[in-house]
């Protein structure tokens, strides 16, 4: 997988930015991006969300505090999905190797279940500095 994988509602799979450019589908920015599943990879770590809905991806940049050229550095990668009406809980867990943090709106066995509020966004985040993955909820896209 290169960078990300998206599964469209018709089960079409798109990989990395190349498919976006070639097929002109599933842009994060041009229109709401409705998917069945998405994986965002950053080095050895990945975040994955399963469940049909509107998805969004964003990054957080910081400018290093040092003399000279001030080039922003990407420090956090985020994958988000809006919580749909009727969804009241989501399963969030890590894979056994600890390299993927996944969320599933379809349920799961023996995994932590978190309450959620329709209209809010589930955020899975990779911190590139600490190599930690976290999840949280936000009232809006970030």
Beta carbons of 47 and 102 less than 8 angstroms apart: yes
Interval 60-109: pLDDT, tens: 888 777 777 777 778 899 999 999 999 988 999 999 999 999 999 876 66
What percentage of the chain carries pLDDT values higher than 70? 85
DSSP state of 21: H
d(CA 69, CA 112): 44
Q: Could you tell me the residue ranges of all domains in the chain?
A: 4-138
DSSP state of 68: S
Residue whose pair of structure tokens reads 């998917």 in the numeric block: 35
Interval 10-20: pLDDT, tens: 998 888 765 55
């Amino acid at each position: 997988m290169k960078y990300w994988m998206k599964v469209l509602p018709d089960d079409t799979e798109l990989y990395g930015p190349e498919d976006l450019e070639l097929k002109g589908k599933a842009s994060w920015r041009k229109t709401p991006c409705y998917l069945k599943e998405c994986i965002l990879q950053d080095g050895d770590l990945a975040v994955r969300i399963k469940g049909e809905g509107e998805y969004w991806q964003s990054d957080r940049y910081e400018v290093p505090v040092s003399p000279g050229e001030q080039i922003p550095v990407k420090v956090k990668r985020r994958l988000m999905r809006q919580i749909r009406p009727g969804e009241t809980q989501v399963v969030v867990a890590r894979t056994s190797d600890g390299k993927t943090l996944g969320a599933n709106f379809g349920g799961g066995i023996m995994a932590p279940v978190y309450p959620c509020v329709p209209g809010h966004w589930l955020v899975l985040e990779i911190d590139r500095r600490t190599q930690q993955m976290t999840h949280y909820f936000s009232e809006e896209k970030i």
